[in-house]
Structure 1
């Protein structure tokens, strides 16, 4: 609700007014000419709305919160089972779980997609024009009428749904002088979709970056006396670029993909006293590189050249600390 504005540079946006002339009579052309800055551009370019390359590449914008948001309402269906086969000697130390989930939200809080705002503003719904700011004059390479900012804020709009299965396998027992525990968590994503606006079609994101069909985490821990070591291995399966972005560039869904990615983290601990513990950790121990999603491509996080919400954009790093109880 109260997210402060954060600047971004949205990639691959097409101005629906580009190429509009004084003679065109379509609803989009009329809506474009109703903007005085667009009309000024048309009149200064021989009757055709014209953009330079700096105009097309210089679009910025802000992501904002919205104090008028309301709580989401949805319906969740879950079904789970826990198996602890104590009567089977080989499996007596194991615990197995499986959970099916199906979640649907009718009025999900979503960030207004910028391409949707453009299409709606010049397609008849003027309420979306509030997100768009055009240049009021020509300054250097920036042309009058060119888009300067396209903002996005959170709205109770459209919908969202997901369906899949979570599996876990846990095991723990005494090994040598200490105790070893292991846990595997795996998620199979059957379906994930967004509805950008009420009444529009579902945008299926299943298998795309951020919504990989297969994800897994393995945790191992060994504790002996005052010493302990833990490891976490995180796996994200192969993923595709967003299908709507590919469609804008005349490419079929799944045509551009990134491979699977695995990260390994380790932490070592030492209980110096009953209430004080020292720890040393290393994240992304093998310095796995994030898949390149360069600026200008859909899903790229500004300044990281990848999708930093999914992949590690920093690389190998260390930390040292102490924790205690009173």
Structure 2
């Protein structure tokens, strides 16, 4: 119960109207959010309903105020609505308006989050789709940084380029393998000309590349080229170490698995399935002998096409018989000379 000795005066209708007006203004501020053009009609209807509910409650409260005596302790206009003393059930605007406001704000936030990519996401898509060089992206980021200080200053940070790659340890070095299927999908995504074809002809090159004159550390790379399209070759696997990659079966294992999967199942991109065919393997004589595990090109029976043994003349082996019996898959698998 309220202390009747502290009740000083009865609130006039004019003062009550000012209190109600102030509450209405606060409620309108809560639902004063911007809406998109696509959802404007639905959101506006929702907001009108919310405001209508509030105005109905205010009108009911005003009607109650005409029949009840309201008292307060302070005559200042900036008193809170809690200072108004209502004997039984006070009217409340918080629940319905707050729920409408929260619902609308949630809808707007979800729309912005799902349908409006950030400037950083737009730059990422642009750089990847158009195959823009890292130096050009970095220069652009420095230009935009004054207006967009949250953007990174380096292309590697923007594109989140991995600083390390999974490595496979070999006897005398390390091997990094790039999934052949994923690389081909990236190439298809950045080249519209592939949409008119249904077959990809792949040519592969395996070769060693010395790095230093005074060291035997070198690269052994597996490169791939799509023969029926004019694009640069790309790396499938790269080995760095001393001498040739050893053991050879580990060096070629992931490459063979990827290639076999593409030959058996093809490559599917955006509902289109491309047939994968091997055009050729391009290797020099030492690399070919090493990859095929056959004799070097300077030894006896070194020809991989026929069984000609050869003749040693002037410090070299000469293969003179041009009509020798050709080799076949069976003799190759049986390791017959």
TM-score range, shorter chain: under 0.3
- The normalised TM-score by structure 1 is 0.21
Higher helix share: 2
Greater RCO (Cα-Cα under 8 Å, separation 6 or more):
1
- The normalised TM-score by structure 2 is 0.21
Higher strand share: 1
Whichever of the two has the greater Rg, that structure is 2
